[in-house]
Amino acid sequence: MATAFVLAATGHAQAQNATPAPAPTVQPHGYMVISYDIKDQAMFQKYMDAAGSLAANYNGKVTIFNMKVKGAEGKPRSVFGMVEFPNLADAQRFYNSPEYTAARKFRIAATKGTSTVILTEGLPQ
């Protein structure tokens, strides 16, 4: 019985002195955030036809696309979108790809004023 007590106490002491496993590292994802106003719906449809399915080719997925944005503060543009990628490098590869570069010309022609496009990192939720 004494031996069992010593073994149990030794195991308990070793468990208390053990170094905890490091927390898993969460890698930031890459995001493309867009905001603009449409002036030419037919041209915008050409953009959607050309760009609509491209993000998946670069491991991206559209997480937000809203054509009727309402602001809580300030004056937002009417369209807001966000595409999530596994990392910033994939977002940059998508944005700079020949396919998206060609599609982007339709978006620029279809929108009024300046579009806002942000490529950034962020932690997934």
Please say if the pLDDT value at position 8 is more than 60.
no
Rounded to whole angstroms, the Cα distance separating 24 from 71 reads 37
pLDDT tens string 44-93? 999 999 999 999 999 999 999 999 999 899 988 999 999 999 999 999 99
Please say if the pLDDT value at position 22 is more than 80.
no
Rounded to whole angstroms, the Cα distance separating 64 from 62 reads 6
> What is the average per-residue pLDDT within 4-10?
46
DSSP E strand boundaries for 1-125: 29-38, 61-66, 79-85, 111-122
Domains of the chain, start order: 29-120 (3.30.70.100)
Q: What is the pTM of this model?
A: 0.76
What is each CA distance from 125 to 19, 27, 82, 84, in whole angstroms? Answer: 28, 12, 14, 12
Give one word for 113, left, alpha or beta, with left for phi > 0 and alpha for psi -120 to 50: left
Higher pLDDT, 4 or 73: 73
